[in-house]
Chain A
Amino acid sequence: MTDINSIILLVVILLNFFILGSARLVACIRAVALQGALLALLPVIVHGFSLHSLGLAGGAFLFKGGLIPWLLLRAIREVRIRREVEPLISLVATLFLGAMATVAAFLFADQLPLIHASQAGVLVPASLATMLAGFLLLMTRRKAITQVVGYLMLENGIFIFGVLLSTAMPLVVEAAILLDLLVAVFVMGIVLNHVNREFSSINIERLSALKE
């Protein structure tokens, strides 16, 4: 069981790097969708077949693997952009930072006083690494769409952590996070369209005019 588990998590981490290093938006969205879909398998693998874990897995699969990426893809079709041009720091530098963050996550997770350290395996470092990668994406990209992808990765990281606690973490909490995310994507989509219409650009840099 832990083997499949570790393989999934490693793929997730690799996908992090892929997203951090890619300039093509469609590819980013597809990668994050794949990441979400893979993560949806985790609750079933870790906790076995039960109504709770199946519900969690199904919900996550539908939202992260299907609905949200579909919404995002539709949004970029409407605003007609394909590439993330000129990120704040270059893609290579982002990749490097991502690698550093992943190493830091593994080092940090080793130090954590966890109760079931043996059972957790790669879960905790993978979770931290995904969250940090999401943060990096949020900080370094200009397009609002990539920001949404960053939020999705952040959520994926939290989801991995949630799997660890799944028995303690009620379904309601997970459902609430998913709902939050969905609403956030909707709002982003609406803002995106309006910003696009007003400024004929979706660069979030323009939002600095809203300061104060």
Chain B
Amino acid sequence: MRRALLFIPVVLTVILGIVLFQRIGKDPTQLESAQIGKPVPAFELADLLDPSVSHGPEALRGKGPFLLNVWGTWCPSCRDEHPDLIRLAEQQGVRIVGLNYKDERPLALQWLERLGNPYALSLFDPDGKLGFDLGVYGAPETFVIDGDGIIRYRHVGVVNQKVWSETLQPLMQQLGGQG
């Protein structure tokens, strides 16, 4: 009985070790989104390419699942993921909606002209209003949104081949979209 008590510290240490070990290698900056399962918040934003046109949430509904990619020309990682987005849009037929976040229109247009435009629709959010409502705290972030405009998943960081094939593609297929 008394000898068994001596093992208590060992057991506690092992439990603590297991708990801590599980977090190793995980990115602490990736937070769960509070928006999963909720519809895209209401918005009224101008089109990036055509300032005279403005879009609301209904522009996002009824065309099947898509990726909502939050980007800005000030964001180096966005440049990093841009070729991947173009490849997804052109070769895999993925519908991507761009949310140009806290940016300047001329810079954004120049970027799309020079690097190509993977977006089926581009929203211009210079004040970061929709971004704020979506809980965006940096760029790039990419949301998976279903055909009813419900947010299904949020990815923080660059969308590369690995993220696409392991996470986003299965989800998109499950939702009945391209990919």
**Binding between chains A and B:** no
Chain A positions within 8 Å of B, measured between CB atoms, are none
